[in-house]
Structure 1
């Protein structure tokens, strides 16, 4: 079989949208294209898992793929090409959940979340520097009040501790942590980028293209390296000469509710994915995975949800799960006194109250 034929075959697909964690060694990703290879170092240890967050988002695994075949192919193309996914679709359709689906199925560890608001800047995603905290710590150190400022050596003579390190007051953001030199890519969720300031997508271009960034405070520092905090709880990273470069470009899932268009230069660097409304079979599988049992009224509620969406309403998967969960309460009947409450839970979100 020729190389092009192999690329078309099943072997290039490592993601199948089943949501099952690997039972043994995690799947191996295809080598990155030559123009998407990076040489960052020193290598970071494997990231932690956060199965509780995955359970909240995905529930238990099921035998039904949570995406259609075209969407699965788009995700696999983004994984192979090391390009961000720009995921659009109706609110509540499961766009951000895709990041957790990829992370769990490929064994890529904890998802790094960068939630965007109108005031978010690129630096917020890369790192923060607590300049005031550092100034206070240095003042305390000079006054002899810094913790463990004075210690004794082996002969009982008092020795002065070094000044507080600059790295102690720098914390990498979700984007900055995702670009650390891991041997396997991290999963980064950039949620609701369309809510950002107009400049943020353009500011991201250099980082998305080059897989690297600098921390000016560390570049100007006289020390060759620094140990800084990361977005992972209790984790640290060694930064050399103030520059960070990835080894494997992260799996970047950028979500948008379609509230505005992005610049062409930004869209050129992403693969577009229009998140489809789940089918009836997929909705039942989602209900089963979260509730672990199928309540008697589940199928009727799923059918009602599908009809509401087909009629052009704006509805979220969260509404369906809330409605089905309520039917599991003792003595509650959706077809009797609870009918009005069910209508409220499954209301059209585009109509305000």
Structure 2
């Protein structure tokens, strides 16, 4: 067995990289180090599951590890130390899928996705304030209108209704929702951080270190608490005095295609994981998990896929799955024009068209 064993002889790993959902109660995570413990509250209810999203990413998995032993140990170290994972590797190698692998196997509920573009700011990940919507709601309230826009019976009395609550116009983003005081950690996927503005990694430092943030609009509000929307559909959270603090630091999976270097201060807060292309056996297991069975042409296509990667090409797992799926279509034949179609699906992505 690879890696370091705990002093008392108990295996320190809770993650096996199979992505198989727990058959009973989800496994308990090891206690957080003293310097990574937080005291947020009130505790949030158990997050919803999103098995459909997990199935799209993982298929119907069995007990076949989808990572090598070294990579699995790095993930377990991040879980133990409550530190983000900075996952690098070629496009399409399965970096973002890792978040779903962890979430399903450890029973941590719906994955919160924060997709990064060049215009993304830290606030986008934390929360959004619909100031225009609130102003319109206040104007309607002062005019004595119902939410439907119809006049109230007594406009001068404003229909006896309280003014619109500020929290109704604030929605926590994926990062902000992940940092809510959940009893068990949420899984946050920060996808393609290397596409961000140069300042975003530095802006993340304080939040990743302290596990907390403030919503200035709520800090200035006269009320002590506010009920706000979250990134989980239909789920609300209570924020007290405008401040959110973790109870259990989330499992943060940050992906990068290696298009830029990150500051040293940012990198020291993360555990690096360089994802390699799965082995032939793992590729066959991935194909079987997505298609439920292993089609007759699968081994030939997997061998061709591996050969092209070994030759230095840039290829995605999606290409392999698409090619295998095509061979299962009715009268499709992998010769003649059919062979040309497969060649197109498995083309080298580094060569454009």
In structure 2, runs of 5+ residues without a counterpart are none
Go from structure 1 to structure 2 and tell me whether the alpha carbon gap of 1:204 and 1:339 turns closer, same or farther (over 3 Å shift): same
State the match for 2:186 in structure 1. 186
State the match for 2:128 in structure 1. 128
Task: State how 1:226-241 maps to structure 2 within 5 Å.
Answer: 226-241=226-241
In 1, the alpha carbon distance for the partners of 2:24 and 2:275 equals 30
Q: How many residues align?
A: 346
User: What SS does the corresponding residue of 1:19 show, helix, strand or coil?
Assistant: coil
CA contact (8 A) 2:5 2:12 kept: no
Go from structure 1 to structure 2 and tell me whether the alpha carbon gap of 1:107 and 1:164 turns closer, same or farther (over 3 Å shift): same
Task: State how 1:186-225 maps to structure 2 within 5 Å.
Answer: 186-225=186-225
C-alpha distance after superposition, 1:248-306 (max 9, x if no partner): 00000000000000000000000000001100000000000000111111000000000
Go from structure 1 to structure 2 and tell me whether the alpha carbon gap of 1:235 and 1:323 turns closer, same or farther (over 3 Å shift): same
TM-score, normalisation: structure 1: 0.95
TM-score, normalisation: structure 2: 0.95
In 1, the alpha carbon distance for the partners of 2:224 and 2:216 equals 13
In 2, the alpha carbon distance for the partners of 1:224 and 1:7 equals 46
C-alpha distance after superposition, 1:43-74 (max 9, x if no partner): 00000000000000000012310000000000
C-alpha distance after superposition, 1:163-220 (max 9, x if no partner): 0000000000000000000000000000000000000000000000000000000000
In structure 1, runs of 5+ residues without a counterpart are none
What's the RMSD between the two structures over aligned residues?
1.6
Task: State how 1:251-290 maps to structure 2 within 5 Å.
Answer: 251-290=251-290
Offset, 1:11: 2.0
State the match for 2:299 in structure 1. 299
User: What SS does the corresponding residue of 2:315 show, helix, strand or coil?
Assistant: coil
User: What SS does the corresponding residue of 2:19 show, helix, strand or coil?
Assistant: coil
User: What SS does the corresponding residue of 1:318 show, helix, strand or coil?
Assistant: helix
Go from structure 1 to structure 2 and tell me whether the alpha carbon gap of 1:95 and 1:123 turns closer, same or farther (over 3 Å shift): same
User: What SS does the corresponding residue of 2:340 show, helix, strand or coil?
Assistant: helix
Go from structure 1 to structure 2 and tell me whether the alpha carbon gap of 1:151 and 1:143 turns closer, same or farther (over 3 Å shift): closer
Offset, 1:8: 8.5
State the match for 1:318 in structure 2. 318
Task: State how 1:50-129 maps to structure 2 within 5 Å.
Answer: 50-129=50-129
In 1, the alpha carbon distance for the partners of 2:5 and 2:61 equals 32
CA contact (8 A) 1:151 1:161 kept: no
Runs of 4+ aligned structure 1 residues displaced above 3 Å come to 7-10, 148-152
CA contact (8 A) 1:166 1:226 kept: yes
